[in-house]
Amino acid sequence: MKLRLFLLCLCLFSAGLQGLRAQSKQKNTKSTPVETAAVQEPSSRMAWWQDARFGMFIHWGIYSVPAGEWNGKTGYGEWIRNSAEIPLDDYDQFRTRFNPVKFDADAWVKMARDAGMKYIVITSKHHDGFCMFDTKQTDFNIMNTPFRRDPMKNLAAACKKYGLKFCLYYSIMDWHHPDYLPRREWEKDRTKEGADFDRYLVYMKEELKELLTNYGDISVLWFDGEWESTWNEKHGKEIYNYVKSLQPNILINNRVGAGRLDMEGLTKEGAFGGDFGTPEQQIPATGLPGVDWETCMTMNDHWGYNRADKNFKPAKEIIRMLTDIASKGGNYLLNVGPTSEGLIPGESIERLAAVGRWMKVNGESVYGTQASPFSQLAWGRCTRKISGDRTILYLHVFDWPANGVLKLSGLLNTPDKAYLLADPLHVLLKVDRDNDALVISLPKVAPDTINSVICLALSGKLDQTDPPVFATDFESFADSITFAITSSRDNVEIRYNTGSSEPTVNSLLYTQPVRIKATTTFSTRCFRDGKPVSGTVSREFRKADPIRATDPEGVLYPGLRYRYYEGAWDSLPDYNRLTPVAEGIVPDFVFTPRNQDDLFSFVYSGFVLLPETSVYFFYTNSDDGSRLYIDDKPVVDNDGLHGLAEKSGTIALAKGYHKIRVSYFDRTGSDNLVVLFKSQARPRQVLPKEWLFFN
């Protein structure tokens, strides 16, 4: 599931529902407009999904036969055919060895139900093109294996039996079909001559028709593999409408379109985006207000089964991730990768059982909840439910207070009652008020060391105010810094002190942006009618001493020098012990000189010409690891074997030339490196190649 990636940024999620006709050289299949009498309103269609919060992802296919290993290397997953560059004829042989005789649909679904999951999404076809269902469109399917059974029928029946929603994953990309384009770069023996992508679209539709007519109600169709150049907005709308014509109330993720913003999973503004966003292997830091979204995540380091991968997330991490996601208004789609025998790995079973035990006690605090009204809680997370003029807050306490007191600042409602969700008797906890804060007295011992939940019922419409916000990412500055102080509430006034003391009604009244030239600490708080209505937030702004610019020797030319290496690494290597395969000049951080798709590394070096003295944020957005140095000082460390990940660092720099060096390595799957920056005077953007030089 690693993807070909572009520059990350956060945009609004949007959905389009226009109907288009599907055209093909072989066949003309008419699509039905989405808005028909049979279609529920979007809010109604989404209701079950918004209530569910927790689902199981299943990546299963013939890639489970090699179990992540090829030619002595063990780092592969469901992308093994592409990552290990396995010829088609060799890969096809896995089909003859795929015989999951230990597969038990009832056991799988019951396991998901007992873990507290409400829906299952399984790969009906992944990028390798192998179909895990009985299709008449290709012989490359499970009915032509020794197994000769359709597990989709078994799982659909089991989901109905145990009350879970049955959902299907379908890959747009297909490395096996002769009409799918483009070919893999390394496939020198597979010509694209005679390939017809329009004919492939017909094939897709016929398979989708089978999936949506042979297995009863399909609650979600989860598309993937949409990022290659052959797929576009028109295709996405066409397939969306076609799917809806077959099952009007189905939900379809945003990967049906062509406007997804990489691993962040959102959709570019104005692009077609299906019904919900799909952040991958990450949780949005502050949630995505007003957007339906679902974080999909592996339980270890691979989606498909990898025998050698024992790096499973502990149950504690999974439970806290589930709570974190729910507190931000999202769903958690947690993956398992069954073996070629049809067994879910024991490590996954163990962790799902532990999650299930927690959910059996605390599921009320997850299902059907909305995002937290608090921007930040030092001790944990919060979810909430609203019924009329009554609000229930579920306080998820990760760090049980040693003093037995839990404080909720900025909450003015009258408390009705508070109790531990794990307490079957619901013995009331004492709740007092301290100005703007509610103070809950707790037992000395937490009922659950991972996440103890307190149910707090409040009267009236929620009246909660977060502390003010310093509207800048910069905590240091070169010459001066100007920043605003804001509040999400309109009916408050903001007061502040210079220093760490708590503001009072007599403190300075904020009316306009503040400008400072020396290191200063600010403390700020919201007031209403002369009384505090929020907690206090403090922040120190430090004056930095910028590093002087350098005076490069000799003539400078546009671009960067690069050194190119080949090898298999799990982290950035010691380049002093390596001999580069090639060296040369590139305009910026591109991989054009490489000889192979995977298992390579680059070191770029030169100078960056900065237009003003400032504190600079630098970012590397990479898959796999990267590291950035300015004037030989490490600024960004994004090392390691991982999917798309972004790290940042800050440094104060004077106007002029500075040495820059960026190292990067790729092992398997996708490859991506983007270097970005922002300064006090310039918004976040890709580092311009016009600023890069070498001598």
Q: What residues contact 392, with CB distance under 8 A and at least 6 apart? A: 384, 385, 386, 455, 456, 457, 458
The whole-angstrom separation of Cα 84 and Cα 668 is: 8
pTM of the model: 0.84
- Ramachandran angles phi, psi of 156, nearest 5°: -60, -45
CA distances from 61 to 77, 270, 454 (A): 11, 35, 42
Kindly state the percentage of the chain with pLDDT values over 90: 85
Of 385, 409, 400, the closest CA to residue 444 belongs to 400
What's the gap between Cα 90 and its chain centre? 34
Q: Which residue has the tokens 């609203």?
A: 386
- For residue 356, give the 3-state DSSP assignment: helix
Assess contact for 39 and 248: CB atoms under 8 A.
Answer: yes
* Reported confidence tier of residue 37, pLDDT bands at 50, 70, 90: very low
pLDDT at 381 exceeding the cut of 70? yes
pLDDT value of residue 262: 75
* Reported confidence tier of residue 140, pLDDT bands at 50, 70, 90: very high
pLDDT value of residue 25: 29
The whole-angstrom separation of Cα 288 and Cα 533 is: 26
Token pair listed for 68: 């992540």
* Reported confidence tier of residue 290, pLDDT bands at 50, 70, 90: confident
* Reported confidence tier of residue 209, pLDDT bands at 50, 70, 90: very high
Give me the mean pLDDT over the 204-228 stretch.
Answer: 97
Which residue type, as a one-letter code, is found at position 491?
A: N
Of 453, 395, 393, the closest CA to residue 422 belongs to 453
CA distances from 392 to 84, 332, 371, 389 (A): 52, 22, 12, 10
- For residue 118, give the 3-state DSSP assignment: coil
pLDDT at 3 exceeding the cut of 60? no
Q: What residues contact 634, with CB distance under 8 A and at least 6 apart? A: 627, 628, 649
Cis? peptide before 624, omega within 30° of 0: yes
Q: What residues contact 106, with CB distance under 8 A and at least 6 apart? A: 158, 161, 162
Q: What is the mean pLDDT of the chain?
A: 92
Strands 537-543 and 476-477: parallel
- For residue 45, give the 3-state DSSP assignment: helix
- pLDDT tens figures, 332-369: 999 999 999 999 999 999 999 999 999 999 999 999 99
* Reported confidence tier of residue 511, pLDDT bands at 50, 70, 90: very high
CATH superfamily of the 380-459 domain: Golgi alpha-mannosidase II (2.60.40.1180)
Which residue type, as a one-letter code, is found at position 665?
A: F
CATH superfamily of the 42-365 domain: Glycosidases (3.20.20.80)
Of 234, 27, 228, the closest CA to residue 127 belongs to 228
Rg of the Cα trace of the chain?
27
How many Cβ atoms are within 10 Å of 84's Cβ, its own excluded?
Answer: 19
The whole-angstrom separation of Cα 247 and Cα 166 is: 13
The whole-angstrom separation of Cα 394 and Cα 396 is: 6
Q: In degrees, to the nearest 5, what angle opens at C-alpha 266 toward C-alphas 264 and 272?
A: 150
Provide the CATH topology of domain 557-694. Answer: Jelly Rolls (2.60.120)
Please give the biggest Cα pair distance in the chain.
80
Helical (H) or strand (E) element with 323 = helix 315-327
The whole-angstrom separation of Cα 623 and Cα 2 is: 9
Token pair listed for 485: 């102080």
- pLDDT tens figures, 72-117: 999 999 999 999 999 999 999 999 999 999 999 999 999 999 999 9
Helical (H) or strand (E) element with 165 = strand 165-171
pLDDT value of residue 1: 43
Helical (H) or strand (E) element with 543 = strand 537-543
Give me the mean pLDDT over the 20-27 stretch.
Answer: 30
The whole-angstrom separation of Cα 79 and Cα 671 is: 13
pLDDT value of residue 42: 61
The whole-angstrom separation of Cα 343 and Cα 623 is: 30
Ranges assigned E (strand) in 349-468: 380-387, 390-397, 405-408, 415-420, 431-434, 437-441, 452-459
Assess contact for 54 and 294: CB atoms under 8 A.
Answer: no
Q: What residues contact 544, with CB distance under 8 A and at least 6 apart? A: 476, 477, 478, 615, 652
Kindly state the percentage of the chain with pLDDT values over 70: 94
pLDDT value of residue 456: 98
- pLDDT tens figures, 600-635: 999 999 999 999 999 999 999 998 999 999 999 999
pLDDT at 684 exceeding the cut of 80? yes
Q: Which residue has the tokens 């004492």?
A: 430
Give me the mean pLDDT over the 31-42 stretch.
Answer: 38
The whole-angstrom separation of Cα 118 and Cα 326 is: 14
Ranges assigned E (strand) in 197-340: 220-224, 251-252, 294-297, 331-336
The whole-angstrom separation of Cα 453 and Cα 418 is: 10
pLDDT value of residue 41: 58
The whole-angstrom separation of Cα 295 and Cα 55 is: 10
The whole-angstrom separation of Cα 300 and Cα 402 is: 33
Give me the mean pLDDT over the 664-691 stretch.
Answer: 93
pLDDT value of residue 21: 28
Assess contact for 242 and 205: CB atoms under 8 A.
Answer: yes
DSSP letters for 592-615: TT-SSSSSEEEEEEEEEEESS-EE
Give me the mean pLDDT over the 36-48 stretch.
Answer: 65
pLDDT value of residue 361: 98
Give me the mean pLDDT over the 383-412 stretch.
Answer: 95
- Ramachandran angles phi, psi of 631, nearest 5°: 50, 40
Determine the number of helices (DSSP H) and then strands (DSSP E) in the chain.
9, 36
Of 336, 344, 369, 284, the closest CA to residue 121 belongs to 336
The sign of the torsion formed by the CA atoms of 192, 198, 204, 207 equals: negative
How many Cβ atoms are within 10 Å of 12's Cβ, its own excluded?
Answer: 13
How many Cβ atoms are within 10 Å of 327's Cβ, its own excluded?
Answer: 25
pLDDT at 2 exceeding the cut of 70? no
